[in-house]
Amino acid sequence: MLVYLLKRLLYALPIALSVTLVCFLLVHIAPGDPLNAVVPADAPAEVVNALKAAYGFDKPLPVQYVRWLGRALTGDLGTSVATGRPVADEVLSAVRNTILLAVIAAIIGFALGALLGGVAGYRHRGIVDRLATALSVVGVSVPHYWLGMVLTIIFSTRLNWLPAMGAGPGGSKEWLWDGEHIRYLVLPVATLMVIPLGIVTRTIRALVADTLSKDFVQALRAKGLSDRAVFLHVVKNVAPTALAVMGLQLGYLMGGSILVETVFAWPGSGFLLNTAIFQRDLPLLQGTILILCLIFVLLNLMVDVLQPLIDPRMRRS
């Protein structure tokens, strides 16, 4: 088991390294010059060259990569071209906001999905099952930015119950756990949790129905176990796969909420990414993508470590 853990940790390193390489290259493969956005078109050539040298854009790509990586390892992700602030600070405060949103959406979505999917799996072809299936299809299919706009129209514009934009009153960026701030969470969380809710419902339903049809469930009943005791066996059988799906979904929530954060002007990593793209703020873009990718790698690592703890068949090293 310990060997497996160490191995898995070692595997994570080259993955993380290739993530940094891809992040770095993606930005440089994209057409256009990173300085175009900040330097006026009629700026004299020597000013442009001086700026290029200042940002290191005049060096060959491998050199740029190694220097960028070296600085990134020490926590220095460069300076934002647009704002002049350190990228690391911008990204970290944005990621904090995104984690807040994603984790709350995940907790609610996963819990509801597990409940619905579990009941649907037990009551195969029953009313709850049909309802859950319909709901999960809708959840997966509805574009969530569209849903976000519809919710905003209904609950903010028409009913005026909930704020439509931002993460706090007066555009405040500091998060506080009070009623006033939580009101700002409701619509983005509701929008964001729809997809994981749909996917988790569908997955758990299929897993539970499949497990219940297995011989060993009959064998457990045959030895006189109560439904509750059998349920615990089912949970432990379903958990490894469910965890893997949930880990992936949480990863998507962390990185994929770009549209939802833009719709609700939520000052998170998606919003930041959107800003960075439109302002052609390369260091910021790189830094944000890098941090999001590393979070994804970390989440997968956690799932891979948890799974064999539950399922002994995965413990072979």
Partner 1 sequence: MSNPLISVSDLTVTFGGSRPVHAVNGVSFTVGTGEVLGLLGESGCGKSVTLRSLLRLHPPRRTTYGGRIEVDGHDILSMSEEQLRRYRGSVTSMIFQEPLLAFDPVYSIGRQISEAIRRHRAMDGTAAEAEAIRLLDRVQIPQAARRYHAYPHEMSGGMRQRAMIALALSCRPKLLLADEPTTALDATVQIQILLLLRELQREMGLSIIFVTHDIGVAVEISDRVAVMYAGRIIEEGPIAGIIGGPAHPYTRGLLASTVTQNMRGTRLEAIPGAPPDLADLPPGCAFAPRCSHASATCLASIPAYETHAGRGVACFHSLNDEGVPPSVTAKVS
Residues that bind partner 1 (CB under 8 A): 214-216, 218-226, 229, 233, 236-237, 310-313
- Of the pair 52, 233, the CB lying nearest partner 1 is at 233
- Of the pair 27, 220, the CB lying nearest partner 1 is at 220
Q: Shortest distance, CB of residue 265 to partner 1, whole angstroms?
A: 45
- Of the pair 99, 212, the CB lying nearest partner 1 is at 212
| Ranges of H-type helices in the chain | 2-29, 45-55, 61-73, 87-122, 127-141, 144-151, 179-192, 194-212, 215-222, 227-256, 258-263, 269-278, 282-310
Q: Shortest distance, CB of residue 241 to partner 1, whole angstroms?
A: 12
Distance CA 51, CA 30 (A): 20
Q: Shortest distance, CB of residue 36 to partner 1, whole angstroms?
A: 57
- Of the pair 79, 307, the CB lying nearest partner 1 is at 307
Tokens, residue 191? 């929008």
CA torsion angle for 145, 146, 147, 151 (degrees, to 10)?
A: 100
- Per the CB < 8 A criterion, the answer to whether 297 and 17 are in contact is no
Q: Shortest distance, CB of residue 222 to partner 1, whole angstroms?
A: 5
- Of the pair 211, 275, the CB lying nearest partner 1 is at 211
- Per the CB < 8 A criterion, the answer to whether 100 and 119 are in contact is no
Q: Shortest distance, CB of residue 311 to partner 1, whole angstroms?
A: 5
Distance CA 174, CA 84 (A): 21
